[in-house]
Copies of this chain bind each other. A is one copy, B any other.
Amino acid sequence: MKNEQLEVNSMQKAQVLVQALPYIQKYAGKIVVIKYGGNAMINQELKEAVMGDVTLLSLIGVKVVLVHGGGPEITAMLKKIGKQSEFVNGLRVTDKETMDIVQMVLAGKINKDLVNMLNNLGGKAVGLSGVDGHMIKAIPQDTALGYVGKINGINTDIILDMLEKGYVPVISTVGCDTENQTYNINADTAAARIAGALKAESFIAMTDTPGILRKKDDPETLISSINVSEAPQLIREEIISGGMIPKVECCIEAIRQGVNRVFIIDGRVPHAVLVELLTDEGIGTMFK
């Protein structure tokens, strides 16, 4: 990539910056919620690119809220303590010990490491969990699943307080109830609900696919824009299938709750967030 970059002359640089102008105007002072996960979280170079993008957006006046998951690190830690997980209908049962690991990895490890990176890049970040300021209120989703939680309320006060003070809130999706219990909350769902509760301008879900493809595995068939009403048909046609279904449902829910622009983008492309938000080259699939 370095070679390519050397060829960009100062005039072209200025052009790129100038072309970003209308996008900066559109997003200045607006809230953008980014669901961060997948490869972009595992690959160190991609991680740094995303953190750079978040810092840049924050500096030019976009109010970024970063919501992260943490599947692989949780699995690694469970393995390390020799925990055997039970499964019910293919879903992992979250007992007390598992919940502790989930909470520790998300809120203690991943969250703080992301905050550290953002701060070192010149941002001003604070790590929050759904427990802080009673942000994500939860109830058990299914008693058979233990501490897997279902959201029954989002309190955006602490997020708005932090944004007002100029911080980038980095959120790990641990839920809480009124009995001092914590819950494991699906990060996609939580991110979409937070975006909805904040009436965000934009919600961006990072995935490990180029977006929704009309023909599986053929990036050329990327559907760049989907109307919410078309989604059921696409599911029936199995164009949207498997793990993509719940992600799409989150996006639709965000739209329904008043988020203006919702995207699924390819987290494996460096700076995908920046390209999506600040250039005229849309990548991924937009919902409307």
Q: Which residues of A contact B (CB under 8 A)?
A: 1, 4-5, 7-22, 24-25, 28, 49, 52-53, 55-56, 59-61, 77, 80-81, 100, 103-109, 111-113, 115-117, 119-122, 124-129, 131-134, 158, 161, 165, 167, 174, 176, 178-182, 269-271, 274-275, 278-279, 281, 283
- Contact (Cβ within 8 A) A176 B116: yes
How many copies of the shown chain assemble into the complex? 6
Give the distance in Å from the alpha carbon of A77 to the alpha carbon of B108 in the complex.
Answer: 13
Interface of A is mostly: helix
A73 CB to closest chain B CB (Å) equals 10
Select one of B18, B113, B131, B134 contacting A274, CB under 8 A: B18
CB neighbours of A116 from chain B (8 A): 131, 176, 180-182
Residues of B within 8 A of A106 (CB): 108
- Docked-complex contact A4 and B9, CB < 8 angstroms: yes
Do B5 and A12 have beta carbons less than 8 Å apart?
yes
Cβ 8 A contact of A112, one of B25, B61, B131: B131
Q: Is the CB of A20 within 8 A of B158?
A: no
A109 touches which of B13, B103, B127, B278 (Cβ 8 Å): B103
Question: Nearest Cβ distance between residue A271 and chain B, in whole angstroms?
Answer: 3
Tell me which of B105, B128, B269 contacts A108 (CB under 8 A): B105
Known: A7-B7, A13-B278. 18 other contacts (CB 8 A): A10-B281, A11-B275, A13-B16, A14-B274, A16-B17, A18-B53, A22-B122, A25-B59, A28-B59, A60-B61, A104-B109, A115-B132, A116-B131, A116-B176, A120-B180, A124-B133, A126-B132, A127-B129
How far apart are A159's CB and chain B's nearest CB, in angstroms? 11
Contact assessment for B132 and A125 in the assembled complex, using a CB-CB cutoff below 8 Å: yes
Minimal beta-carbon separation of A78 from chain B (angstroms): 11
Contact A11-B271, Cβ < 8 Å, known A18-B56, A133-B119: yes
Contacts of A24 in B (CB 8 A): 56, 59-60
Q: Which listed residue, B10, B15, B28, B131, touches A5 by the CB 8 Å rule?
A: B15
Kindly provide the distance from the CB of A105 to the nearest chain B CB, expressed in whole angstroms.
Answer: 6
Complex CA–CA separation, A288 to B246 (angstroms): 50
Residues of chain B within 8 A of A129, CB atoms compared: 112, 127
Nearest B residue (CB) for A170: B132
